[in-house]
Structure 1
Amino acid sequence: MTNRTRTPGKTSRIRYACQLVCAFFVCAVLGSGPASAELTIRITEGADAAIPVAVVPFAESGGIPSSDKVSSIVQDDLTMSGEFNTLAPEKMLSLPSQRSEMYFRDWRLLGQRYVLVGQLSRSGDRVEARYELFDVNREERILGSSASASANNMRTLAHHISDKVYEAITGVPGAFSTKLAYVTLDRASGEPRYRLQVSDVDGKRARVRLEGKEPILSPAWSPDGEKLAYVSFETGRPAVFIHELASGNRTRIAEFRGLNSAPAWSDDGRSLLLTLSKDGNAEIYRMDIASKNLKRLTNHWSIDTEASWDHTGNGFFFTSDRSGGPQIYHKSSENADPRRITFGSRYNARPRPDNEGKYVYYVHQRDRAFHIARTNLKSGEETVLTRTESDESPSVAPNGRMLIYATKQSGNSVLTVISADGGAAYSLPASEGDVREPAWSPILH
Structure 2
Amino acid sequence: MSLMTKLGLRTLVASCLITVGGAANAQLNVLVTGVGATQFPIATANFAGDANSPEQVAAIVRADLARSGKFTNIDAGSAPISENDSVDLGSWKAKGANAFVAGSVNKLANGQYEVRFKLYDTVKGESLGGLVLQSPPSGLRMTAHKVADYIYQKLLGDRGVFATRLSYVIKTGNRFQLQISDSDGQNAHIALSSPEPIISPAWSPDGTKVAYVSFEKKKPIVYVHDLPTGRRVMISDQKGNNSAPAWSPDGRTLAVALSRTGNTQIFAVNSDGSGLRRLTQGTTIDTEPTYSPDGRWIYFTSDRGGQPQIYKMPAQGENAGAAQRVTFTGNYNTSPKISPDGKQLAYISRTGGGFKLYIQDLQSGVATALTDTTHDESPSFAANGQYILYATQVNGRGVLAAVSTDGRTRQILSVQGGIVREPSWGPFMQ
TM-score, length basis structure 1: 0.90
Matched with 2:74 is 87
- Paired residues in the alignment total 423
For residues 47 and 334 of structure 2, the distance between their equivalents in structure 1, rounded to whole angstroms, comes to: 46
Amino acid in structure 1 at the alignment position of 2:377: E
* Partner residue in 1 for 2:423: 438
Structure 1 residues 371 and 166, CA gap change in structure 2 (3 angstroms): same
Residue 356 (structure 2) aligned to one of 371, 375, 398? 371
Aligned partner of residue 52 in structure 2, secondary structure? coil
AA matched with 1:130: R
Matched to 1:227, the amino acid is K
Specify whether residues 438 and 60 from structure 1 end up closer, same or farther in structure 2 by C-alpha distance, changes over 3 A only.
same
Check the 8 A contact 2:235/2:273 in 1, yes or no. Answer: no
Q: Deviations over 1:24-77 (max 9, x none)?
A: 63233132422552111111111121211211111228x732x42000001111
Match of 1:391 among 350, 358, 376: 376
Match of residue 276 from structure 2: 294
Aligned partner letter, 2:192: L
Matches within 5 A, 1:8-19: 16-19=2-5
Q: Partner amino acid for 1:41?
A: V
What residue identity is the alignment partner of 2:241?
L
Residue in structure 2 matched with residue 48 of structure 1 by the alignment: 37
Give, in angstroms, the shift of residue 361 of structure 1.
0.4
SS in 1 for 2:49: strand
Local SS of the residue matching 1:130 = strand
| Structure 2 counterpart SS, 1:41 | strand
- Contact 2:199-2:214 within 8 A present in 1 as well: yes
Question: What whole-Å deviation, never above 9, does each CA across 1:258-291 have from its counterpart, x for those lacking one?
Answer: 1100001112211110000101111111112346
* CA apart distance, 1:195: 0.8
d(CA) in 1 for partners of 2:83 and 2:208?
38
For the residues of structure 2 that align with 1:133 and 1:391, how far apart are their CA atoms?
A: 39
**Deviation string, structure 1 residues 305-332 (Cα, Å, up to 9, x no partner):** 0000002112111011112211111124
Matches within 5 A, 1:344-355: 344-355=329-340
Q: Which amino acid aligns with 1:149?
A: S
- Greater Cα offset, 169-178 or 17-26: 17-26
- Give the SS at the match of 2:66: helix
For 1:32 and 1:289, the matched residues in 2 are separated by: 30
Equivalent residue, structure 2, for 1:231: 213
Cα distance, 1:99 vs. partner? 6.8
The alignment partner of 1:182 has SS state of: strand
How well do the aligned residues superpose, as a CA RMSD in angstroms?
1.9
Check 1:348–1:148 CA distance in 2 against 1; reply closer, same or farther (3 A cut): same
Contact 2:345 2:362 in 1 (8 A): yes
Counterpart CA distance in 1 for 2:160 and 2:268 is: 31
1:261 aligned residue: 243
For the 8 Å contact 1:35–1:184, the answer to whether it is kept is: no
The corresponding residue for 1:178 is 164
**Which structure is richer in relative contact order (CA contacts within 8 A, separation 6 or more)?**
1
Aligned partners of 2:167 and 2:201 also within 8 Å: yes
Q: Take 2:16 and 2:118, find their aligned partners in 1: how far apart are those partners?
A: 47
In 2: Cα distance, 1:291 partner to 1:232 partner = 15
Residue number among 51, 55, 61 corresponding to 1:74 in the alignment? 61
1:143-175 CA distances to partner (integer Å, 9 max, x unpaired)? 222112223432122111111111112222221
Aligned counterpart, 1:273: 255
Cα distance in structure 2, aligned partners of 1:32 and 1:156: 28
Please state whether the residue corresponding to 1:25 is helix, strand or coil: helix
Q: What one-letter code is carried by the residue in structure 2 that aligns with 1:64?
A: N
1:303 equivalent among 285, 288, 306: 285
Structure-1 residue corresponding to 2:176 = 194
Name the counterpart of 1:7.
Answer: none
| TM-score of the superposed pair, with normalisation by structure 2 | 0.93
Contact 2:300 2:310 in 1 (8 A): yes
Q: Does 1:419 align with 2:404?
A: yes
Q: Shift of residue 208 of structure 1?
A: 1.1
Q: Determine the structure 1 residue equivalent to 2:106.
A: 121
Q: Cα–Cα, structure 1 residues 52 and 225, in superposed 2: closer, same or farther, change >3 Å?
A: same
Q: Distance in 1 between matches of 2:65 and 2:302?
A: 38
What secondary structure sits across from 1:101 in the alignment? coil
Q: Identity, % of aligned pairs?
A: 35
* Contact 1:35–1:435 (8 Å) recurs in 2: no
Instruction: Report the Cα offset of residue 102 of structure 1.
Output: 2.3
1:394, 1:288 → 2: CA distance?
25
Aligned mates of 2:311, 2:67 — CA distance in 1: 33
SS in structure 2 at match of 1:59:
coil
Deviation of 1:89 after TM superposition, in Å, equals: 3.5
Q: Which runs of 5+ in 1 are unaligned?
A: 1-14
Alpha-carbon distance in 2 for matches of 1:251, 1:388: 37
Aligned letter for 1:115?
A: F
The equivalent residue for 2:47 is 58
Question: Which amino acid in 1 is paired with 2:360?
Answer: T
Secondary structure of 2:233's match?
Answer: strand
